[in-house]
C-alpha cells in the first residue's frame, strides 16, 4: 500500500474522528444571558445633568453629609440617654437600700413591742393564778 494512499485514508479517518460536536443544550442561552448581564453592568451614557438622578443615592454629597450628621446625632443622643438611664438606675438602687433599712428597723421595733406585750400578758396571768 503506498504512503500517499495511507495518508489519504488517515486523513479521511481524521475528518470523521474530529467532526464537530454540538455543545450542551442551552449553551447559546447561557452565552446570551452572560452577555446581557455584562451589558447591563456598563455605565449608562446619559446627559451629565441627569446623572444626579441615576447615580447611587450615597454618591450624592448632600446625602453623604446628611447621613454623617444623622450618625453623629444618633451617637451623641445614644450617649446622653445611656447616662440618663444609668443615673436613674443608681437612684433607684439607693431608694431600694433605704427601704430595706427602714423595713429592718420597723421589723426590730415590732419584735420589741411584741416581746413587751408578751411580758405584760405573762405577768397578768401569773397574778390571776395567785389570786
Partner 1 sequence: MAEPLSAEKAAAIAETDFAAIVRRHQAMVYSIALRFLGDPAAAEELAQDVFLQLHANLNGLKSHDHVKFWLRKVTGHRCIDFRRRSRLPQVSLDEAPEPAAPVQTGDPLLSRRLQQLVASLPEKARLIVILRYQEDMKAEDIADVLAMPIGTVKSTLQRSLAMLRDKVTRTIGEVAI
Q: Which positions touch partner 1 (CB under 8 A)?
A: 1, 6-7, 9-11, 13-24, 27-28, 30-32, 34-36, 38-39
Task: Provide the b/e sequence for 56-69 (b: ≥16 CB within 10 Å).
Answer: eeeeeeeeeeeeee
| Of 8 and 118, CB closest to partner 1 | 8
> Whole-number minimum distance, CB 52 to partner 1, in Å?
22
Cβ distance to partner 1 smaller for residue 31 or 70: 31
Cell numbers found for residue 73: 446625632
Cβ 53 to partner 1, closest distance in Å?
19
Grid cell at residue 62: 448632600
Q: What CA–CA distance (Å, rounded) separates 35 from 55?
A: 23
The residue among 15 and 89 lying less far from partner 1, judged by its C-beta, is: 15
Amino acid at each position: 500500500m503506498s504512503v500517499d494512499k495511507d495518508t489519504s485514508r488517515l486523513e479521511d479517518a481524521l475528518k470523521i474522528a474530529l467532526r464537530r460536536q454540538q455543545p450542551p443544550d442551552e449553551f447559546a442561552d447561557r452565552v446570551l444571558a452572560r452577555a446581557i448581564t455584562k451589558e447591563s453592568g456598563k455605565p449608562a451614557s446619559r446627559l451629565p445633568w441627569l446623572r444626579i438622578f441615576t447615580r447611587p443615592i450615597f454618591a450624592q454629597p448632600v446625602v453623604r453629609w446628611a447621613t454623617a450628621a444623622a450618625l453623629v446625632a444618633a451617637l451623641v443622643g445614644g450617649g446622653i440617654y445611656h447616662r440618663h438611664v444609668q443615673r436613674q438606675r443608681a437612684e433607684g438602687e439607693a431608694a431600694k437600700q433605704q427601704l430595706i433599712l427602714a423595713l429592718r428597723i420597723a421589723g426590730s421595733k415590732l419584735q420589741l413591742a411584741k416581746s413587751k406585750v408578751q411580758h405584760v400578758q405573762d405577768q397578768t396571768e401569773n397574778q390571776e393564778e395567785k389570786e
